Chains A and B, each alone.
Chain A
Amino acid sequence: MSTNIIRGKSFTKKLNFNGNGSFYFGIGLITFLIILAVAAPLISHFDPTGQDLLNTLVPPSRQHWLGTDQLGRDVFTRILYGARIDLTIGFAAVLLPFIIGTTLGLISGWFGGWFDSLLMRIVDTTIAFPFYVLAIALVFVVGPGPKAIILAITLVGWVAYCRIIRAAVLVAKELDYVHAAKLSGLPTARILRKHLLPNVISQAIIFSMSDIVLSILAIVSLGYLGLGVPIPTAEWGSMIQEGQAYILQQWWIPTIPGLMVVVTGFGLSLIGDGLVKRLNR
C-alpha cells in the first residue's frame, strides 16, 4: 500500500524550509556561536581572566589572535567565554518570560472577565515602567550578577508574550475547531493545551527570536554600566566598557565584542524572519 505517501510527516519535515536560505544562514550562524561558546576551553588554551602584565595591549598576532587587553588577557579567549555568559543569560532571560507570559495570555484570552481586565492593567503598568530603572533597582536589591539580570528581564519581558498570546487566543477561540472542541465537551485544560496553544504559539516563538537579541543587548548595556556580571568575568558588555579607553590605538579591544553582539543579533533576526515566512505562509 502507498502508506508512505499519505503518512504524516514529522513536524520538522512538515515545516519544509526549502527556499528559505537566510533562515538556514541564521541557524548556521547561531549554531556556530554556540559551538564556539561550548568548546571555548578546547579552542583556546588561555585563561579568560588570567592576566599577563608583561604583554598588555598586544596587537593581533599568531599567538593572540585578537591581541590582548590592558591587563594582558587574550581578547579572543574572552570573546569565547563571554559568549558563554551572554548567550546563556540571553536564552534563559527569554525562556522564563516566554513561559509565564504565554500561560497568563492563554488564560486571560480564554476566560476574559475580571482576570483579563486586571491582568491587562498590570501589563499596561509594566510597559509604562522604564526598564533600566527597574533593572538598576533590582541589581541593588539582589546584587549584581546573572540572577538580577534574569529577574529584571523576566519581570518586564513577560508582558509582551502575554499580549501576543492573548490577542491570538481572542481570534483563535472563535474558530470552528475550537467551537467544535468546546461543544464536544472536552475538558477546558485540554482545549487550551491541544487546540489553542499549538495554534497561537508561533507568533510568540517568532517574537522570542528578536527578544533574545533585546535581552542580550540589555545584558551588554548593564555590563557596560557596570551593573551586569561582575568583573573580571569575561562578558561582552564589560569588555566594551573596559576597552573603550583604547578605541583609538587598540580598536579591536572594544570593537570585536560589539561586533559579536551585532552578529548574534543578525543571526537571531534571520531565524525570526525565516520562521515568519514559514509559519505565516
Chain B
Amino acid sequence: MTHPLLSVRDLHVEIDTPRGLLKAIRGISLDLNAGDSLGIVGESGSGKSITLKAILGLLPKNARVTSGEIFLDGVSLNSLNAPKRAELLAEKIGIVFQDAIAALNPVMTVGNQIAEVPRRRLGWSKEKSHQRAIELMELVGIPEAEARFHVYPHQLSGGLRQRVAIAIALSGNPQLIFCDEPTTALDVTIQAQVLRLLMDLRLKEKTGIVFVTHDLAVVNEICEDINVMYAGRFVESGGVQECFQNPSHPYAYSLLKSAPDMEHQVERLFSILGEAPDLTKAVNGCPFAPRCFAVTEICRSSEPELRNQGGPFSACHHSSTFKQSLGAVELTADGGQK
C-alpha cells in the first residue's frame, strides 16, 4: 500500500500570548501525494503560516503542538527523536519564505548559500557542489549564473533574490516545497515569473508544492487543490476548479466574491464585514457565524465539521443551501446585510 508523502492528522497548535492561550490551529488534517500542489488560503491570523511552521518544527518558543500527528513518507514525526526528525524533514522538504531578503544570509555569497547543503549535508566535493549550485541557478532562471555565484544578496533585485531562495530550497533535492507567500513581496510582473518558475519546477522536477497565500488568483494559477482556512480550521477543501466554480462554504464564497473581477464593473468591491474571531476565547458554534450572510440558529450553537456534502468538502451546516439565502438577503456592495 502506498502512503501519502505528507499526512497531517488532527493537528492542534496553541500559542501562549499575554492575552491568554490562543488556539491557533484547531484540528486540521491533510494528505499530500508526491507531485501534488496544494494551496492553503486564508486571511491574516487564520493559521496558514503556523500550519507550515508546525509541520516543520519551526514554531516559536511560545507555541506548541498540543495534539495530532504528522506523517512524512509514512513515518510519524512524533516517533522520531529530534535529530532524526530534523534529518527526515531536511531530506523531504524545502521552504521558500515570503521575504527573500530575510531568507538569505546577508554576509554569504548566494552561490555559497546554494552550494552549502550539497557540500555540508550531502557531503559532495567542493567542485561538484559548486557545479550543482550553478545548475540550480540556471534552473531557476538566474542569468549569468557563473558570475552571480559570487554575488551577495543585497546586490540582487527582489525577483532574483526570490529565485535564489527557491534554488536554496531545491538544493537538498526535496520532494516537497513549502511556499509561505513567496510572491507577496514582489511586484506583479515578477510575481508572474516566479509563479511560472514554480509551475515549471513542479512539472520538470516532480516536486510537490504547498502554497500558503491570501491571493486567490495565485492559487488558481498554480495549485490543483485548495484548502480554505478560517479561524484555525479548514472550512473548505477540494479541487481548485471545483471550489472556484461552486464554493460550498459561505466564507469561501465571500472571499471569491471580494476578488476584483475584470468582466463586471462594480463601484465598490464586495467585502466581508467584521473581524476573524478571537481565538483566545472558546469558539461556540461556527466561527464564521457572526460574519455570515446565511447564519441560522444552529450555526451559533454547534461548530460544523469538515465533511463531504457533495461538491468540495465543507464545514458548513448549510453548504448546499446557503446560496439560496442570497436571494432573500441582498448583498450590498460593501458586504453588509440590508
- Does B171 make an interface contact (CB < 8 A)? yes
* Contact string against A for B residues 25-68, beta-carbon threshold 8 Å, 1 for contact and 0 otherwise: 00000000000000000000000000000001010100000000
A179 — which chain B residues lie within 8 A by C-beta?
Answer: 58, 95, 97
Tell whether, in the assembled complex, residue A180 and residue B97 are in contact, meaning their CB atoms are under 8 Å apart. Answer: yes
B204 to chain A, nearest CB (A): 21
Subset of 15 A-B contacts with CB under 8 Å: A3-B144, A6-B148, A7-B151, A8-B150, A176-B97, A180-B103, A183-B89, A184-B168, A184-B171, A185-B87, A186-B116, A186-B117, A190-B120, A195-B105, A198-B108
Assembled-state Cα–Cα distance A199/B107 (Å): 7
Closest-by-CB residue of B relative to A195 is: B105
What separation, in Å, do the CA atoms of A199 and B152 have in the docked complex?
14
Q: Which residue of B lies closest to A8 (CB)?
A: B150
A183 touching B120 by the CB < 8 A rule? no
Assembly CA distance A52 to B60 (angstroms): 71
A199 to chain B: which residues have CB within 8 Å? 105-107
CB-defined contacts of B95 to chain A, threshold 8 Å: 179-180, 183
Establish whether residues A177 and B104, one from each chain, have CB atoms under 8 Å apart when the complex forms. yes
A177/B109 contact (C-beta < 8 A), A183-B56, A184-B94 known: no
Q: What's the least CB distance linking B158 to chain A, in Å?
A: 15
Residues of B within 8 A of A (CB): 56, 58, 60, 86-87, 89-91, 93-95, 97, 99, 102-109, 116-117, 120-121, 144, 147-148, 150-152, 155, 165, 168-169, 171-172
Q: Are A183 and B93 interface neighbours, CB within 8 A?
A: yes
Q: How far is the CB of B190 from chain A (nearest CB, A)?
A: 18
B80 to chain A, nearest CB (A): 13
CB–CB A183/B58 < 8 A = yes
**B163 to A: closest C-beta gap in Å:** 14
Q: Which of A183, A187, A190 has the most CB of B within 10 A?
A: A183
- Given the interface pairs A6-B148, A179-B58, the reply to whether A194 lies near B108 with Cβ below 8 Å is yes
B144 and A1 contact, CB distance less than 8 A: yes
> Which residues of chain A come closer than 8 Å to B104, judged between CB atoms?
177
Whether A183 contacts B90 by the Cβ 8 Å rule is yes
A169 to chain B, nearest CB (A): 13
Given contact pairs A183-B95, A185-B86, A174 touches B60 in the complex (Cβ within 8 A): yes
Which residue in chain B gives the minimum CB-CB distance to A185?
B90
